[in-house]
């Protein structure tokens, strides 16, 4: 994944997490989602064009579309107030694809850290499926914490380290990301109430951007 694109995936995931916690309105988060969504559609298209038919390079670029379509959809829903069930079911397909990309990263690319990161993305998009397709609105604040945390752990921080040349794909890095990811999953529910905006904390059935 392009490190620059990954950096902005981290930003938009963090903002969307804050939105689910009730601190940003869906309309207020829409422009960033549209900007990053467009970037994540343009970037893989360019990478595939210049890949010259190389299957490995095409595979690395293909997963970016899932992010691009997600953020464009979130942005359009935020502006129009359209129902989110379609995006929820799309999130289930992203979940399945992310598991596949994780296996590919582990076995073919031999990038163990991003194999773990893809699994963490699979978990996050599955929670989006629960929220929007199955209407589990009581999970909204916890999913907000998870999204904001994964924005930093799986995207923002790794992208910054890659861009600056400080990233090292070692066994230690893989273990650290895996442990922090499990810790984030463990604390997202306990942290959801103190981190939520008062209106969301008092009305757990309210999901910003989910109509």
Task: Find the distance separating the first CA and the last CA of the chain, reported in whole Å.
Answer: 32
What is the pLDDT, as a whole number, of residue 203?
Answer: 45
What is the pLDDT, as a whole number, of residue 2?
Answer: 76
Among 196, 187, 205, 190, which Cα is nearest to 139's? 205
Among 124, 129, 57, 142, which Cα is nearest to 88's? 129
- Write out pLDDT tens, residues 169-193: 899 999 999 999 999 999 999 999 9
What is the pLDDT, as a whole number, of residue 106?
Answer: 94
Which mean pLDDT values do the consecutive 10-residue runs of the chain (211 residues) have? 86 97 95 96 88 79 90 96 95 97 92 96 98 96 98 96 93 97 97 86 44 47
Torsion region of 206: left, alpha or beta (phi above 0 gives left; psi -120 to 50 gives alpha) = beta
Query: Distance (Å, rounded) from C-alpha 74 to C-alpha 34?
Result: 8
Q: Which CATH code for domain 3-202?
A: 1.25.40.600
- Residue ranges covered by each domain of the chain: 3-202
Query: Distance (Å, rounded) from C-alpha 169 to C-alpha 64?
Result: 20
Among 163, 171, 176, which Cα is nearest to 112's? 171
């Amino acid at each position: 994944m392009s490190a620059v694109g990954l950096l902005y995936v981290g930003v938009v995931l963090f903002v969307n997490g804050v939105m689910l916690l009730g601190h940003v309105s869906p309309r207020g988060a829409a422009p960033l989602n549209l900007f990053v969504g467009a970037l994540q559609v343009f970037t893989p298209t360019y990478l595939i064009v210049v890949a010259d038919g190389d299957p490995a390079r095409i595979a690395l670029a293909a997963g970016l579309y899932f992010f691009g379509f997600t953020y464009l959809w979130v942005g359009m829903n935020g502006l129009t107030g359209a129902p989110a069930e379609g995006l929820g079911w799309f999130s289930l397909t992203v979940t399945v694809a992310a598991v596949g990309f994780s296996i590919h990263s582990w076995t073919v690319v031999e990038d163990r850290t991003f194999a773990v990161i893809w699994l963490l993305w699979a978990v996050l998009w599955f929670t989006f499926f629960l929220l929007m397709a199955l209407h589990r609105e009581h999970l909204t604040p916890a999913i907000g914490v998870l999204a904001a945390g994964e924005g930093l752990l799986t995207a923002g921080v790794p992208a910054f380290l890659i861009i600056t040349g400080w990233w090292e794909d070692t066994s230690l890095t893989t273990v650290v990301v895996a442990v922090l990811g499990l810790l984030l999953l463990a604390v997202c529910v306990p942290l959801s109430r103190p981190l939520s905006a008062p209106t969301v904390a008092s009305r757990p059935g309210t999901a910003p951007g989910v109509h």
